């Protein structure tokens, strides 16, 4: 192969790489390619095969190592996704970047400058999953009529956009209509860009501390309890690049990581003394997960205890959306147990709800998880199977 031929082939490859992305986006934009039914992006989901799951975990671990220890790799990835944004923004406002580890599609909103997620399911799949979840909550309500059962649903802006899976905007209302009338429900519906940017991170899938305060006060109102906490807010880290920025290694936009200033003085009976230290850990990697480290709720079970006589005990079945406020809620109950079925011991056993309620004298149950998982179990955590009624 002569030098001229090699150069031509090299240029064709480079040109093709930069051309295929905008062509794909145009086809999606004009309706010639159904992005939501496309199988062009591999989605890896957890299975019950321990060997397969370990291999997938190893793959994710290797990717994290690249992100943490190879700055050149970070820069190349960042340049790649930045070029996608720059090219596609010439004719698109909503720009597809890649899939995250849960198979959600990461988009960039050029006009308002934030990342958002679009889930991977068809309308038919969502309808089926929604029915399963509604039946799960109704079943708990029917079997334990003396329990104050509540669902809190932080419904993010992207989940209500009309483009998100065939008018998914209406799914929350469909879901609510299927629940028993005596189940307490409140929706934190950030259905405008202004609300979204005020209460949620632009680069991450969590609400910021201002959104978390709304969630806390909403839940107190649901349970008809009076808040006695004096809440202030502080910026604990800037710049902060959350989970969606980490997936693309983009620093095009940034957040301030914020927290509520409320003393964490509760007794925690079953984890080490470093639980939820609410202390910042500085790292050289800009994509270090400061949210997880600061709020540190990655435990299967945590028990808070108060020296009070409220005669009420709370069971929170939550995920990382509960980490900012579980200890605030715990100040209003004699005992608060926080369960996250993603972690041990629930990875190897089920939660027998009847026994759990009796042993801990539970009077209130709160489901506080991402909206997409409460409504249709988007990440396949199968809490409806893990919690045995």
Q: Residue 148 corresponds to which tokens in the numbers above?
A: 């104050």
- The DSSP H or E segment spanning 103 is none
- With bands split at pLDDT 50, 70 and 90, how would you rate the model's confidence at 241? very high
Q: Which pLDDT score is estimated for 230?
A: 94
Asked if 238 and 254 count as a contact pair (C-beta separation under 8 A), the reply is yes
Q: Using H for helix, E for strand and C for coil, what is the string for 279-324? A: CCCCCCCCCCCHHHHHHCCCCCEEEEECCCCCCCEEEEEECHHHCC
Asked if 288 and 278 count as a contact pair (C-beta separation under 8 A), the reply is no
| DSSP three-state, residue 266 | coil
Separation of alpha carbons 175 and 178, rounded Å: 5
Asked if 334 and 313 count as a contact pair (C-beta separation under 8 A), the reply is yes
Asked if 350 and 356 count as a contact pair (C-beta separation under 8 A), the reply is no
Q: Taking 80 as the threshold, does the pLDDT of residue 170 lie above it? A: no
β-pair partners for 152:
186, 368
Geometric angle at alpha carbon 67, from 89 and 345, rounded to 5°:
115
Q: Which pLDDT score is estimated for 15?
A: 67
Percentage of the chain beyond pLDDT 90 is 48
Report pLDDT digits (tens) over 256-286. Answer: 999 999 887 788 887 766 677 788 888 877 8
Tell me which of 34 and 312 has the higher pLDDT: 312
Q: Taking 50 as the threshold, does the pLDDT of residue 167 lie above it? A: no
Q: Residue 313 corresponds to which tokens in the numbers above?
A: 């005990």
Q: Taking 80 as the threshold, does the pLDDT of residue 199 lie above it? A: yes
Q: Which pLDDT score is estimated for 381?
A: 92
β-pair partners for 37:
none
- With bands split at pLDDT 50, 70 and 90, how would you rate the model's confidence at 383? very high
Widest pairwise Cα distance in the chain:
86
From first CA to last CA, the distance across the chain in angstroms is 70
Question: For all residues of the chain together, what is the average pLDDT?
Answer: 83
Please state the pTM of the whole predicted model. 0.81
Report pLDDT digits (tens) over 327-380. Answer: 999 999 999 999 999 988 898 899 999 999 999 999 999 999 999 899 999 899
* Dihedral sign from CA coordinates of 29, 34, 36, 41: negative
């Amino acid at each position: 192969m002569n030098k001229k031929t090699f150069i031509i082939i090299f240029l064709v490859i480079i040109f093709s790489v930069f051309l295929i992305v905008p062509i794909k986006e145009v086809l999606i934009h004009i309706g010639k390619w159904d992005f939501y039914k496309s199988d062009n992006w591999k989605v890896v989901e957890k299975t019950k095969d321990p060997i397969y799951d370990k291999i997938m975990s190893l793959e994710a671990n290797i990717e994290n190592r690249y992100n943490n220890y190879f700055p050149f790799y970070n820069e190349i990835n960042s340049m790649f996704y930045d070029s996608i944004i720059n090219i596609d923004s010439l004719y698109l406002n909503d720009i597809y970047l890649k899939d995250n580890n849960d198979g959600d599609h990461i988009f960039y909103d050029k006009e308002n400058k934030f990342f958002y997620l679009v889930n991977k399911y068809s309308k038919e799949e969502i309808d089926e999953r929604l029915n399963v979840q509604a039946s799960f909550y109704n079943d708990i309500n029917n079997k334990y009529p003396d329990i104050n059962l509540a669902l809190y649903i932080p419904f993010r802006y992207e989940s209500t956009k009309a483009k998100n899976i065939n008018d998914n905007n209406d799914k929350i209302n469909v879901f609510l209509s299927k629940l028993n009338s005596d189940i307490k429900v409140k929706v934190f519906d950030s259905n405008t860009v202004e609300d979204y940017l005020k209460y949620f991170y632009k680069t991450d899938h969590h609400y910021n501390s201002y959104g978390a305060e709304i969630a806390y006060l909403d839940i107190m109102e649901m349970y008809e309890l009076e808040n006695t906490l004096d809440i202030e807010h502080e910026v604990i880290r800037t710049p902060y690049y959350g989970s969606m920025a980490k997936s693309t290694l983009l620093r095009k936009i940034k957040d301030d990581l914020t927290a509520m200033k409320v003393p964490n003085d509760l007794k925690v009976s079953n984890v080490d003394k470093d639980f939820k230290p609410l202390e910042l850990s500085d790292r050289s990697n800009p994509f270090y997960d400061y949210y997880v480290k600061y709020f540190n709720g990655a435990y299967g079970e945590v028990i808070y205890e108060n020296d009070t006589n409220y005669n009420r005990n709370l069971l929170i079945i939550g995920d990382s959306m509960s980490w900012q406020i579980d200890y605030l809620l715990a100040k209003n109950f004699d005992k608060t147990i926080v369960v996250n079925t993603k972690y041990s011991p629930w990875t190897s056993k089920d939660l027998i709800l009847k026994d759990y309620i009796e042993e801990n004298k539970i009077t209130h149950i709160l489901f506080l998880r991402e909206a997409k998982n409460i409504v249709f179990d988007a990440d396949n955590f199968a809490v409806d199977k893990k919690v045995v009624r």
